[in-house]
């Protein structure tokens, strides 16, 4: 759903809070307005912003499942975003810090491929943090103040989200050639 004055967070007025668990606030503003409520600090905060952006962008156009097990799957893995296009599936994994310390990602992807019944599958590995491409450094769109409040660099955030959205539409309209395809967005190259 598009963010409008009617459904926006009553503090920042930039995020649609109509479906927010913290209504009438977005998560960030809720944390600021209710500092005594115990919420794990920064827990999946980047993922939250990315998922909210996707929900607003695709609203009713594409059915997405967020952080849910694949129905009928055995692995119990929960992709950050799952889209079933019928002939093939798209999984988006939000890999903070490029999941540099995660050693089992390939096995996890194969398990998810098995969970969807060995249909063609595309994984988009989306890094929300800093990276280097052709010796040029790109900052993370997520910065934190000294008090721990997240500050989003909108230009960089929007640039990344536009490319992610473009890739989603590409895979919606084009069945992948390979059985299992992995695309890395905003990784060191």
| pLDDT tens figures, 154-185 | 999 999 999 999 999 999 999 999 999 999 99
- Model pLDDT, residue 1: 58
Q: Are residues 166 and 88 in the same domain?
A: yes
Task: Please give the mean pLDDT across all residues of the chain.
Answer: 89
In 3D space, the residue among 15, 158, 1, 168 whose CA is nearest the CA of residue 82 turns out to be 168
Do 27 and 65 lie in one domain? The reply is no
The DSSP-derived string for 106-130 is: HHHHHHHHHHTTS-EEEEEEE--S-
Please tell me whether residues 99 and 170 are part of one structural domain.
Answer: yes
Which residue, among 66, 53, 112, 61, has the nearest Cα to 88 in the 3D structure? 112
Measured between alpha carbons, how far is 168 from 166 in angstroms, rounded to an integer? Answer: 5
Q: Do residue 73 and residue 129 come from a single domain?
A: yes
Residue 81 has pLDDT above 90, yes or no: yes
Domain residue limits at 32? 1-39
Q: What percent of the chain has pLDDT over 70?
A: 92
Same domain, 89 and 24: no
**Is residue 92 domain-shared with residue 5, that is, in the same domain?**
no
- Same domain as 55, residue 22: no
Residues 29 and 55 in one domain: no
Query: What is the band of 16 on the pLDDT scale with cuts at 50, 70, 90?
Result: confident
Q: Are residues 62 and 16 in the same domain?
A: no
pLDDT at 42: 58
**82 and 144 within one domain:** yes
Contacts of 116 (CB under 8 A, 6+ apart): 70, 73, 84, 89
pTM of the shown model: 0.77
pLDDT at 55 over 80: yes
C-beta atoms surrounding 128 within 10 Å: 24
Residue with the bigger pLDDT between 92 and 107: it is 92
Half-sphere exposure of 52 (CA within 13 A, CB side): 22
Number of domains making up the chain: 2
Per-residue model confidence as pLDDT tens digits over 30-53: 877 887 776 655 557 899 999 999
170 and 130 within one domain: yes
* 27 shares its domain with 67: no
Position 118 scores a pLDDT of 97
In this model, does residue 140 exceed pLDDT 90? yes
């Amino acid at each position: 759903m598009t963010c409008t004055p009617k459904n926006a967070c009553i503090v920042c007025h930039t995020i649609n809070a109509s479906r927010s668990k913290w209504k009438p606030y977005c998560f960030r503003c809720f944390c600021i307005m209710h500092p005594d409520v115990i919420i794990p600090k920064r827990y999946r905060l980047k993922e939250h912003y990315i998922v909210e952006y996707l929900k607003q962008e695709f609203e009713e156009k594409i059915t997405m499942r967020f952080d849910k097990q694949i129905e009928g799957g055995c692995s119990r893995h929960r992709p950050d975003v799952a889209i079933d296009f019928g002939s093939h599936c798209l999984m988006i994994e939000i890999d903070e810090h490029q999941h540099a310390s995660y050693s089992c990602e390939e096995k996890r992807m194969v398990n998810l491929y098995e969970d969807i019944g060995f249909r063609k599958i595309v994984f988009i590995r989306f890094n929300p943090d800093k990276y280097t491409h052709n010796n040029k450094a790109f900052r993370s769109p997520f910065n934190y103040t000294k008090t721990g409040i997240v500050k989003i660099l909108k230009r960089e955030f929007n640039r990344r989200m536009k490319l992610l959205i473009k890739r989603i539409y590409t895979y919606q309209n084009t069945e992948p050639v390979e059985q299992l395809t992995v695309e890395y967005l905003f990784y060191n190259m």
